[in-house]
Chains A and B, each alone.
Chain A
Amino acid sequence: MVKRIKNMFGLFLTISVSGFMSLLCAQSTPVAKVDTPAIEVKMIQAGEIALPAEFQVALYENLIQEFEKENAFSQVFRDGDRDAAKASDVFSLYATVTKFKQGSELERDVTTVGGSTLITVRCQFKAKDGAVLLERDIQGKVRLIGDNLKATNDFAKKAAQITPQSLSAEAASSVATVPEAYYSPGPGW
């Protein structure tokens, strides 16, 4: 009987210790997130391209939504957010449209080969001191199904794949490589 009570006590102790440990781990997760930098997404610039306002806004809003969905950065700030200026570790994303071809949904549906919408955006990730960490041309397109604005979502999904880790890696490799390497789009972009 005494042995049984001892076993029960041991089991209780094991469960309570493991519960305590898991609680400790759960509490430590947000602490680790503090080290993760935030990102401030600047409004998309059209440059010399005649970009309709709805595309400009859709690119910007989709970017913010995708970065928030990916959750790679501790916080996603909008252009002009005063909290971004106060934050210590913030990257800024400057995006400029370099190519834009607005297709036709009808043409896509009827021909299945023509009428695609293509947007190429030059994305510059900058550190708080203004140093360019990464520069890359990212393309958004809709070739068959969907309206023209779907190209903006395609672009945002690709851009949001860039994480703080990849930015740090690029920044580290930039010491060893030639700066022109930044201008060549990577595979899959």
Chain B
Amino acid sequence: MSFQTPPWRLTVILLFATSVTPRSIAQQTAVSTDAVQVIGMTGVKNNSKGRLEITEGTLSFKSAKNSATVSVGCIDDVVTGRDSERVLRGPVGTDSMLAPYGGGGALSLMRTKLETITIKYRDSKGGLHGAIFTMHPGEAEAAKQALLAQGARTSIPASIGSDSSARPQSEEKEQSW
């Protein structure tokens, strides 16, 4: 039994592959999402909200006041994780804890899930930096894939599902709440 593919079919397959592949890579590599820069980006205040963009070999974070850029090639490690946070945060969240009849504790039950992406990178002098971003669920893994596609390295190449298995039990407990 022999498998002979007609030439016209091969041509169609090749044409389809060449037309689809570049677009899918381009879709994977460019990421733009809302994020909170927890710590680490030089010149950006801690816990500032902004836009995280990964395009053309650079990771940039733009907040309302400042912005910072890192070359993706300088990124030594990208790790994602999961967490949750109170819906009411900041001074309002702190004040709400004083609500009577256990109302503060009840308000704490209102939580939003979020994902974290942690990067380690080196500056022009060789100094090691680290930065942490939090973002909406599902976006950290896309950002990680975009960084890896553009030349960043990672110590944990697997997806987020297996990523969390290396994490402590207590965090799993917190995530489930």
Which positions in A face B, CB cutoff 8 Å?
43, 50, 52-54, 56-58, 60-62, 65, 77-83, 100-106, 109-111, 145, 147-149
Closest 9 CB pairs of A and B: A57-B130, A78-B127, A109-B108, A81-B127, A53-B79, A110-B105, A79-B128, A53-B118, A102-B170
A-B CB contact pairs (8 Å), 20 listed: A43-B128, A52-B171, A53-B81, A54-B116, A57-B39, A57-B40, A57-B120, A57-B130, A57-B132, A60-B128, A61-B130, A77-B127, A102-B171, A103-B170, A105-B84, A105-B85, A106-B84, A106-B108, A106-B111, A110-B109
Is A106 within 8 A of B177, CB to CB? yes
B125 contact from A54, A82, A110, A145, Cβ within 8 A:
A82
Q: How far is the CB of B123 from chain A (nearest CB, A)?
A: 7
Q: Tell me which residues from 115 to 144 in chain B have a Cβ below 8 Å from any Cβ of chain A.
A: 116, 118, 120, 122-123, 125-132
CB contact under 8 A between A78 and B77, given known A52-B167, A104-B177:
no
Question: B23 in the interface, Cβ–Cβ < 8 Å?
Answer: no
CB contact under 8 A between A78 and B174, given known A57-B120, A109-B104, A110-B108:
no
B170 partner residues in chain A, CB cutoff 8 A: 101-104
> Can you name the residue of chain B whose Cβ is closest to the Cβ of A103?
B170
B94 partner residues in chain A, CB cutoff 8 A: 145
CB contact under 8 A between A104 and B174, given known A53-B77, A57-B40, A62-B39:
yes
Is B130 within 8 A of A60, CB to CB? yes
B130 partner residues in chain A, CB cutoff 8 A: 56-58, 60-61
CB contact under 8 A between A80 and B122, given known A52-B168, A106-B111:
yes
Which positions in B face A, CB cutoff 8 Å?
38-40, 77, 79, 81, 83-86, 94, 97, 104-105, 108-109, 111, 116, 118, 120, 122-123, 125-132, 166-168, 170-171, 173-174, 177
> Can you name the residue of chain A whose Cβ is closest to the Cβ of B41?
A61
Q: A79-B128, A102-B168, A109-B86 are in contact. List 4 more A-B contacts (CB 8 A).
A: A50-B166, A52-B171, A58-B132, A106-B111
> Can you name the residue of chain B whose Cβ is closest to the Cβ of A100?
B168
Question: Within the assembled complex, what's the spacing in Å between the Cα atoms of A80 and B76?
Answer: 13
B104 partner residues in chain A, CB cutoff 8 A: 109
Q: How far is the CB of A155 from chain B (nearest CB, A)?
A: 13
> Can you name the residue of chain A whose Cβ is closest to the Cβ of B78?
A53
Is B174 within 8 A of A50, CB to CB? no
Q: How far is the CB of A154 from chain B (nearest CB, A)?
A: 14
Question: Within the assembled complex, what's the spacing in Å between the Cα atoms of A33 and B102?
Answer: 53
Question: Within the assembled complex, what's the spacing in Å between the Cα atoms of A65 and B44?
Answer: 12
